[in-house]
């Protein structure tokens, strides 16, 4: 058990303590998988990881149409050099889900969201005294999310994927990194296609379950783009039928 705890602790640290290594312009959130089975169900999930908080909700408007919404925030504390950063994403989606007439549940959603990032690297000003060491900006995230899952009374297991496109607006600031003006770098890399697989498991009582989700973020456009590439979140998930 001690070995497993140390493994997950190391995975969390490697996934989220990244600001001291490089500026980051995108960090993925966990995927909102409500796993509806009938009309007028409402779901909610609160999930956390190191320096990371998110809230998700969903509603099955009809027997096959679902609505979802997500909010995600990360905040990396200052390191020994005073470098830090933060960011957030707000997203909504609409899609189709299979009802409880099937054993294997599936669904797909269209997604649209807005995000922001902020990097402050005062350590870079020693080498580049004419720069501010700060870069911030916004992006539009659009995509498609699909899933296959199995639902028992006390447990759920889900495989899902998300394919997204990031479109960055004009960044603000003056940050130099690896002898490259990062405002210019982001202008050159303003559109990114990313594939994000995830596995989710839940266990608990019928309407309230603990959730564990592991997800990756694989950049199809540029494997060297300055982003976070994986995440692991722990949370609590509930579902309530309003009928």
The model's pTM: 0.87
For 186, residues 6+ apart whose C-beta sits below 8 A from its C-beta are 25, 135, 137, 168, 171
| Structural domain harbouring 71 | 2-241
What pLDDT does 17 receive?
Answer: 33
DSSP string, 208-226: EEEEEEEEE-EESS-TTSS
* Per-residue pLDDT reduced to its tens digit, 56-105: 999 999 999 999 999 999 998 888 888 999 999 999 999 999 987 777 89
What CATH number is given to the structural domain containing 230? 2.40.160.20
Q: Report how far apart the first and last C-alpha atoms of the chain are (Å, whole number).
A: 43
Q: Is the pLDDT of residue 3 over 70?
A: no
Domain count, the chain: 1
CA-closest candidate to residue 67, choices 38, 99, 30, 110: 110
Name the band, by pLDDT with cuts 50, 70 and 90, for residue 126. Answer: confident
What's the angle, vertex CA 142, arms to CA 237 and CA 111, rounded to 5? Answer: 40
């Amino acid at each position: 058990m001690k070995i497993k705890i140390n493994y997950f602790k190391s995975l969390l640290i490697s996934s989220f303590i990244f600001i001291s290594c490089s500026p980051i312009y995108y960090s993925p959130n966990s995927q909102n998988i409500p796993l509806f089975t009938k009309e007028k169900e409402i779901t909610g999930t609160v999930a956390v990881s190191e320096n990371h908080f998110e809230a998700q909700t969903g509603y099955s408007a009809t027997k096959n149409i679902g609505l979802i919404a997500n909010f995600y925030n990360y905040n990396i504390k200052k390191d020994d050099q005073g470098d830090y950063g933060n960011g957030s994403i707000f997203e909504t989606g609409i899609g189709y889900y299979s009802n409880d007439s099937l054993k294997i549940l599936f669904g797909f959603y269209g997604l649209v969201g807005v995000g922001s990032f902020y990097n402050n690297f005062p350590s870079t000003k020693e080498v580049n005294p004419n720069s501010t060491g700060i870069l911030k900006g916004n992006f539009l995230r659009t995509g498609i999310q699909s899933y296959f899952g199995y639902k028992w009374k006390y447990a759920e297991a889900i495989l899902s994927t998300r394919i997204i496109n990031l479109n960055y607006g004009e960044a603000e600031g003056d940050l130099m990194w690896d002898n490259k003006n990062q405002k210019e770098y982001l202008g050159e890399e303003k559109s990114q296609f990313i594939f994000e697989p995830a596995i989710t498991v839940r266990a608990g009582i019928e309407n309230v379950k603990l959730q564990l989700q592991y997800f990756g973020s694989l950049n199809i456009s540029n494997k060297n783009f300055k982003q976070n590439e994986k995440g692991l979140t722990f949370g609590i998930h509930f579902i309530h039928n309003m009928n």
